[in-house]
Amino acid sequence: MKKTLLSLTMAAAVTAFAFMPANVHAAYGTAGCGLGAVVIGGGDGFLQVSAATTNASFYSQTIGILLGTSECTDSGVIKAEVEQKVYAFNNFETLKKEMAKGEGESLYTFAHLMGCSAEAVPAFGQMTQANYGQIVSDSEVTPESMLNSVKELAKNDSTLSGTCSAL
Amino acid sequence: MAVISQKNNYSLKQFSLLSIMFFLFSFSSLWAQDISGVDESKMDLSNSTRELMKNIKDSDINKEYLIELIEKSRDLKLSEERYWMVLMHYKKKTFNRFESYVDGKFFFNDSEGKYEPQRELEATLKGFFYGDKENPLILHPQCRFTARYRWLKEKLSIEPSKINEFQCTRFEKWKKSLDVESVTLVFSSFYLNNPASMYGHTLLKLNKRRNIKGLDLLDYGLNFAANPGNIDIISYVYFGLLGGFPGYFSIFPYYMKVNEYNDTESRDLWEYHLNLNGDEIEKMMYHIWELLGTYFDYYYFDENCSYQILSALEAARPTLYLSDKFSFIVKPVDTLKLVSEQKELVSSLKYRPSVLSKYKIMYSNLSDKEAELFSDMLSDHILLPDDLTPERKAFIIETFFEFSTYKKYLNEGQVEESEKEYYNKLLLLRSKIDEKPNIEFINTIPENQNPLSGHESTHASANFGYSGRGYFTSLVFAPALRDHIDSPVGYSAYSQLYMFAVGMKYFYEEKKYPQLDYFKLMEVISLSPLNRHIYRPSWKLSFGAKSGYNELLKKEDTDRIYAYFTYGMGPTFESYDWGYLDNFAWYTLIGAELNGGYLFHKGYRAGTVVSSGILWRMTLFWSWKIEANHHWMYPDYKNDWFDFKAKTNIGFNQSFALEAAYEYHLKADNYNEISASVKYYF
């Protein structure tokens, strides 16, 4: 009986939630962009990852399936146009480590998101290592500024500019 | 079960509070599960269909075709078929009644759909024709119930032209962007510091079809989790046990999951690749779409992450009967074993070490001199001397990176400014070394830790022994999870976790009925050896009830049961380089104990306990544990006493072990006992 009552309460709550105006949902993502937004808003971005996996997307994903709303994702799948950004925000610390090393799974995945062909991936790694000081020169480096300088550098790199299609 | 994602891991203080709540609510949870009933309203099928037909307007053109399909579905008894049961998550209850585990309103087309498979099937068909009149804004039933539509269309040979078939563009786009080629079952290892994760966690990884290898991070993970939001710990436990949280399926880029488990929580990930064929994966994706749009009431012990993940696998291959194999407690490791036991289902294994595992194994690779340098790096932020080869320099720095990452998350992201600066300096230094150290060895699968090779997670044992009160026999039943003394293979070697464990004892000479020896509602011991610059306290938390027969109590009190609560903390030292890791540990825990019961003059006693012991693994299957405890309790008649316990366990395989034990209670009329037992894990 207790179980039934509780279910009913939750059903009511979720149903109520589903019919809230859209801007109420947006409050979960500070920049209004579901999945990545909380991470973006969080600066350093650590525990923000789990914040993103809890608050931001979970309601909006379920509601999103039913009603089709979300600015960052299509039914839970990150939209292509924000994929690089969301990736850079979520993997910022790992990317810094791997750029300094010039290799690593997260870095190679990043290269792939830049549209680099498989052959160009190691060169991409070397480029980020060689220019590491420049990429994170500023101690206030943010995921976004990192993303921009990496792209800028790759554009000016004779090998990468031709083989990475999404700079 | 890492099912309830929380922003922060619980501190020890919160943990103890949580445990008290466990104590209070466990019984009510059992009760709640038992009486969870089926709705009383019963409807005659033919009546319901008449009602259904009444609502269809005459102007609707395909009424006849709908009636034809409904009749056909009855002839074929489709609602009794296995696949309908799987898709609707129906479980058979008593008296041939059914109940769906799904609690989301939009999952059903009929108001009684949760309990009435046939009614729901007919209402679903109706929905396919006429849409959802009550909720016109949300997806059309054909596009919301994609797996149902696909299956019914095939079973009833529905002609698209007669039903006004929809193009489900959003679903198609979603399916295409995931473009799943294969599926992996992922196990995230045990994590004692968060009660939600003590048993581990499982999720599914949906692997995208690609020409390029090595892009696993961009795959998507299908997760089932409850979301309590930012609530207080009491509500968390209360609703976690009684089912007040909605549990949702959701998909996330796999890198988010890797970051969360590997880095934030330092948990190893074990990825078991599943042999599902294209058709099975297609079926599964059609059903996952349905699941993403609804919710289930979340129950910590049974309707949890692992349970729901199994139901997704059943939708792929309905001939798998997975979800009905469990009752009471569904432990993620058991679901993993069950899946691996299915014929030709698991094909290969990949291991992703946590940041802590990476650090530990890299640190062990440092020479003595390098380890000294490493200490200096930590304490004095030195820059490395030039007499090191570039490879070694790079290796030491990379080891430092892993350590810093681990420590940062341990401190919930707080890093001192000077440490941040030093870390950045090392990053820059590392970028100037072109040589790449060989660190491939960190990805070697530690087979000894493979959760599949561990002993089974429930155990029972029969003991026979001789004591100060004569010969005795005792029986123990523990539904979860393990004792320190059990083989460490497949588990965290230094963890002990009991829940709902009960021990009964019978003394032959006294010719009384068997009495309760103890009931451990919960007992967690987590030892963290102090070495490799990781300094975390070891701790113990235990509560339940036990008999006072072996203590300093008056003879007439000896059968009395009292409740206890113990909490202790202290250091553990380990000799990790004696051949292999986790070989020998010495721990000391200092803590408080609170007892309550009629046998105490004031109804309670409270005091301090100091325990010290060693845990020694002669081999991976032969362990010793020797422990001494001194108790100082107040205000009862005998205020302090000492006891000593020694135990050994020899494991023969995943389900069988032999144990021998000796116990001595100084001053407790010098009660002592020696016993031998047969232990069965299942």
Task: Kindly report, residue by residue over B360-376, the tens digit of the pLDDT.
Answer: 999 999 999 999 999 99
- Is the CB of B212 inside 8 Å of chain A's CB atoms? yes
Q: Report the C-alpha gap between B238 and B242 in whole angstroms.
A: 6
Q: Report the C-alpha gap between A23 and A36 in whole angstroms.
A: 17
Please, what sign has the CA dihedral across residues B597, B598, B603, B606?
negative
Instruction: Kindly list the distances between the CA atom of residue B451 and the CA atoms of B397, B427, B447, in Å, as whole numbers in the listed order.
Output: 31, 35, 9
Percent of chain B beyond pLDDT 70?
A: 84
pLDDT band at B63 (very low <50, low <70, confident <90, very high): confident
Environment class of B652 (CB within 10 Å of its CB; exposed 0-12, middle 13-18, buried 19+):
exposed
pLDDT at B230: 60
Evaluate whether B138 touches B105 at the Cβ level (below 8 Å): no
Dig out the tokens for B51 from the structure.
Answer: 């009602």
pLDDT at B226: 78
Q: Report the C-alpha gap between B17 and B297 in whole angstroms.
A: 24
Q: Do B292 and A51 touch (CB under 8 A)?
A: no
Q: Do B218 and A112 touch (CB under 8 A)?
A: yes
**Closest residue by Cα to residue B221 from B181, B188, B272, B255:** B255
Model pTM?
A: 0.85
pLDDT at B53: 52
pLDDT at B398: 97
**Closest residue by Cα to residue B344 from B277, B282, B281, B285:** B277
- Is the CB of A119 inside 8 Å of chain B's CB atoms? no
Chain A residues with CB-CB distance to B408 below 8 A = 46
pLDDT band at B578 (very low <50, low <70, confident <90, very high): low
Q: Do B292 and A62 touch (CB under 8 A)?
A: yes
Q: Do B430 and A90 touch (CB under 8 A)?
A: no
pLDDT of residue B272 exceeding 70, the answer is: yes
Q: Do A76 and B408 touch (CB under 8 A)?
A: no
pLDDT (tens digit, 9 = 90+) per residue, B82-132?
999 999 999 888 888 899 999 888 899 999 999 999 999 999 999 998 887
Chain A nearest-CA distance from B614, in A, is 36
Chain B nearest-CA distance from A155, in A, is 21
- Residue B463 CA from chain centroid, whole number: 30
Candidate from A20-24, A119-123, B251-255, B650-654 with smallest mean pLDDT = A20-24
**H or E stretch covering B383:** none
pLDDT band at B247 (very low <50, low <70, confident <90, very high): confident
Strand B459-467 relative to strand B295-298: parallel, antiparallel, unpaired?
Answer: unpaired
Task: Tell me which of B241 and B149 has the higher pLDDT.
Answer: B149
pLDDT (tens digit, 9 = 90+) per residue, B625-638?
999 999 998 887 56
Average pLDDT over residues A116-132: 95
pLDDT at B639: 74
Average pLDDT, chain B: 85
Q: To the nearest 10°, report the CA torsion of A91, A92, A95, A99.
A: 170
Q: Do B259 and A51 touch (CB under 8 A)?
A: no
Average pLDDT over residues B644-673: 90
Strand B90-92 relative to strand A77-78: parallel, antiparallel, unpaired?
Answer: unpaired
pLDDT at B298: 81
Environment class of B67 (CB within 10 Å of its CB; exposed 0-12, middle 13-18, buried 19+):
middle
pLDDT at B122: 95
pLDDT of residue A112 exceeding 50, the answer is: yes
pLDDT at B225: 83
Chain A nearest-CA distance from B320, in A, is 27
- Residue B521: left (phi > 0), alpha (psi -120 to 50), or beta? alpha
Chain B nearest-CA distance from A35, in A, is 9
Tell me the one-letter amino acid at B332.
P
Q: Where are the beta strands (DSSP E) in chain A?
A: 73-74, 77-78
